[in-house]
A and B are shown apart, each in its own frame.
Chain A
Amino acid sequence: MSRTQSTLRIGDQPWVKWSLIGLALTLTLLLLVIPLVLIFAQAFSAGPGSLWSNLTDTYTLAAIGLTLFVAALTVPLNLVFGVFLAWLVTRFEFPGRKVLITLIDIPFAVSPVVAGLLYLLLYGSNGWLGGWLADKDIQLMFAWPGIVMVTVFVTCPFVARELIPLMQQQGRDEEEAAVVLGASGWQLFRKVTLPNIQWALLYGVVLTNARAVGEFGAVSVVSGNIRGETNTLPLHVELLYQDYNVAGAFTSASLLACIALLTLLVKSFIEWRQARQRMPVSDQSDSI
């Protein structure tokens, strides 16, 4: 079928098309590209020597260390929790299942600052549980455990959110088949469930990691901003900026931007793999 010049589809007028493309490109440039380039430009503005000294500054290194430490605890915790939760809500019928699926989204719906305040109220030295914990000489708030706790809270939906639709769509047929064939619970998970969800799981992990590294609001409430002790990289950026150390602030910011770019790269790779997995090659499918 040939399409004649006169039969244009809706929105096919060249001026509509090009003005929309132009608008989108301009906005992308103004809102995304220029700020990103500026981060690196500012970081390098005082020369590579100053960049290096900013990077190797004791407090910056401490902030990098703490941030990686928090992410290293948060990601495995939420990985296990997310898989467990997704398995629970997609493989079992129980009262309150729908409510649970809705509850998973609470960390997305609540502002991180509010989440931080809630934890402070509950676990702070004047809080309900905090007082009791303080008697036992356990300090959660204004220390790294508190930072890990709020980060876990803020990032806990990512893995489960990725897995639930996939596991719902895949159904339980393959798992039932594996059990009928004699697989134990662990064999079932390792040989059947995990390979089927691995790319979605990795995607969830990448998003969890990105958010855990970049979380500001909730962490700033519970951290207490003690330099070299409870300062994560995003908090460090703000502190440096308030100290009028613009180059230092942007150096740390460029580190976060690098992590973001890396995340994007890994994310697109996983999306590409997932698309390949979903679109099977179907040659010879019409012979018996």
Chain B
Amino acid sequence: MSISLEGVNKHFGQFQALKDISLDIPDGQLTGLLGPSGSGKTTLLRIIAGLESAEHGRILFHGKDVTRLHVRERRVGFVFQHYALFRHMTVAQNIAFGLEVLPRAQRPPAAEIRRQVADLLEMVQLGHLSSRYPAQLSGGQKQRIALARALAMKPEILLLDEPFGALDAKVRKDLRRWLRALHDELHFTSVFVTHDQEEALELSDRVVVMSAGKIEQVGGPQALYAEPESRFVFDFLGHVNVLGGSLEQQRLSQGDAWVQMPEGVDCAGEMQLYLRPHEVRLQNCPVLHAHLPLRIESISLIGAEVRLELTPCGWDAQQPWEVGISHVEFNRWQPQRGDRCYAVPDVGHLFGIEQTRPRTLNWVED
């Protein structure tokens, strides 16, 4: 079931939480709402569910206007950030709740409810916990029970509010993979809220990046990472190294640092060059087209690559620079903390001070 939002606004007192949001969520996809706290992503999710009311605009499920429809009638599955399991009911009673409250005419017989609950428990792989109370479960178990409870009413839309927010890193990763598999198997339309860019990029078919009550960009994970349309998306999706300076005669310079622009860059004035950690190489000496002296501040060996944190020497950057190198290269080079090195950009993204869209530059001849 597809979801459409048309011109949705929401105020909380003086604060405008959502500003004229229009969005189409296609049927059967897993969509992530990504943004920092206060960006309105949870409010948007709650408006889709009907837990908050939209001030203007319409909400359509599969083309049908549900704006005035009560939460109860919308029949969406909703998984709360803190699970919101009924603390006085057992796991089985929690899952059965959605079926038990159905009007008598639609309610399945007790034996059928028991069978469905058993099936759902099987699906979330927690059959052995059916008579436990929520307080006796771990975070990951609670999350899966909350999901089973939401799925009991066979919703065509599943909404998840920060589904993995309160879990530790290891459990989070397992559950993420499990949710993706479940979605691929059952094919409902899912929307989940997260502030974790890695989670959004890994889990979703499409990501909606939000900031300050507005949608910044909508796109597939790759497109968002490779072609961010704004500074905000650039900053928010992964680390970014910035050189701010003035561009004159095809050379962007600030203090001791400068970068020669490739052929064809003819603009001038105050500019910012954005570089992703993987778009930069490190060398012992500067090259012809760039002079970016840096000092190694810290070295992190955890993960697939070695991450170096660097501070500028003789120029300024608001955030320290971060560059990833392979373990092989690290072993060959063996850099130490405090060593001096030079950054060499391969690909970069140039923003004018007033510009919101970057111009992508390429120094590597192909």
B101 at the interface (CB under 8 A from A): yes
B138 touches A285 (CB 8 A): yes
B136 touches A180 (CB 8 A): no
CA A208 to CA B300, docked complex, whole Å? 64
B88 touches A196 (CB 8 A): yes
Residues of B within 8 A of A285 (CB): 136-138
Chain A CB within 10 A, most for which of B82, B101, B138, B150: B101
Given A179-B72, A180-B71, A182-B101, does the pair A283, B87 have CB atoms closer than 8 Å?
Answer: no
B251 at the interface (CB under 8 A from A): no
B171 at the interface (CB under 8 A from A): yes
CA A284 to CA B140, docked complex, whole Å? 12
A195 touches B88 (CB 8 A): yes
A176 touches B80 (CB 8 A): yes
B174 touches A177 (CB 8 A): no
Residues of A within 8 A of B75 (CB): 182
Interface bracket on A? 20 to 34
Find the A residue at minimum CB distance from B98.
A181
Q: Choose from A176, A181, A281 the contact partner of B101 (Cβ within 8 Å).
A: A181
A180 touches B51 (CB 8 A): yes
Q: Which of B55-100 contact A (CB under 8 A)?
A: 71-72, 75-78, 80, 82, 84-88, 97-98, 100
Given A184-B72, A196-B87, does the pair A178, B51 have CB atoms closer than 8 Å?
Answer: no
Contact flags A167-184 to B (C-beta < 8 A → 1, else 0) = 000000110111111111
CA A287 to CA B144, docked complex, whole Å? 13
Q: Which of B244-260 contact A (CB under 8 A)?
A: none
* B207 CB, nearest partner CB in chain A, Å: 25
Residues of B within 8 A of A282 (CB): 135-136
B153 touches A181 (CB 8 A): yes
A280 touches B135 (CB 8 A): yes
B141 at the interface (CB under 8 A from A): yes
B133 at the interface (CB under 8 A from A): yes
Interface size on B, residues (CB 8 A): 34
Contact flags B212-250 to A (C-beta < 8 A → 1, else 0) = 000000000000000000000000000000000000000
B101 touches A184 (CB 8 A): yes
A286 at the interface (CB under 8 A from B): yes
Residues of B within 8 A of A111 (CB): none
A109 at the interface (CB under 8 A from B): no
* B169 CB, nearest partner CB in chain A, Å: 12
Given A177-B84, A178-B97, does the pair A284, B135 have CB atoms closer than 8 Å?
Answer: no
* B57 CB, nearest partner CB in chain A, Å: 21
Given A182-B98, A280-B133, A288-B171, does the pair A177, B80 have CB atoms closer than 8 Å?
Answer: yes
Contact flags B113-143 to A (C-beta < 8 A → 1, else 0) = 0000000000000000000010111101100
Residues of B within 8 A of A187 (CB): 101
A183 touches B135 (CB 8 A): no
Q: Which of A44-96 contact B (CB under 8 A)?
A: none
Residues of A within 8 A of B149 (CB): 177, 181
Find the A residue at minimum CB distance from B106.
A182
* A60 CB, nearest partner CB in chain B, Å: 44
A191 at the interface (CB under 8 A from B): yes
Q: Choose from B78, B98, B138, B150 the contact partner of A284 (Cβ within 8 Å).
A: B138
A118 at the interface (CB under 8 A from B): no
A192 at the interface (CB under 8 A from B): yes
B166 at the interface (CB under 8 A from A): no
Given A191-B101, A288-B138, A288-B141, does the pair A180, B87 have CB atoms closer than 8 Å?
Answer: no
Find the A residue at minimum CB distance from B102.
A182
CA A288 to CA B138, docked complex, whole Å? 6
Find the B residue at minimum CB distance from A286.
B138
A281 touches B136 (CB 8 A): yes
CA A115 to CA B135, docked complex, whole Å? 45
* B117 CB, nearest partner CB in chain A, Å: 13
CA A269 to CA B149, docked complex, whole Å? 34
Residues of B within 8 A of A283 (CB): 136
Find the B residue at minimum CB distance from A287.
B138
* B298 CB, nearest partner CB in chain A, Å: 32
CA A284 to CA B82, docked complex, whole Å? 19
User: What are 27 contact pairs spanning A and B, CB under 8 A?
Assistant: A174-B86, A174-B87, A176-B78, A176-B84, A177-B78, A177-B85, A177-B86, A177-B149, A180-B50, A180-B51, A180-B71, A180-B76, A180-B78, A180-B150, A181-B149, A184-B101, A191-B97, A191-B100, A195-B88, A196-B87, A280-B135, A282-B136, A285-B136, A285-B137, A287-B138, A288-B138, A288-B141
- 12 more contacts with CB within 8 A, not counting A181-B101, A280-B135, A288-B138, are A173-B80, A176-B51, A176-B71, A176-B78, A177-B84, A178-B86, A180-B72, A181-B98, A181-B149, A182-B153, A282-B136, A288-B140
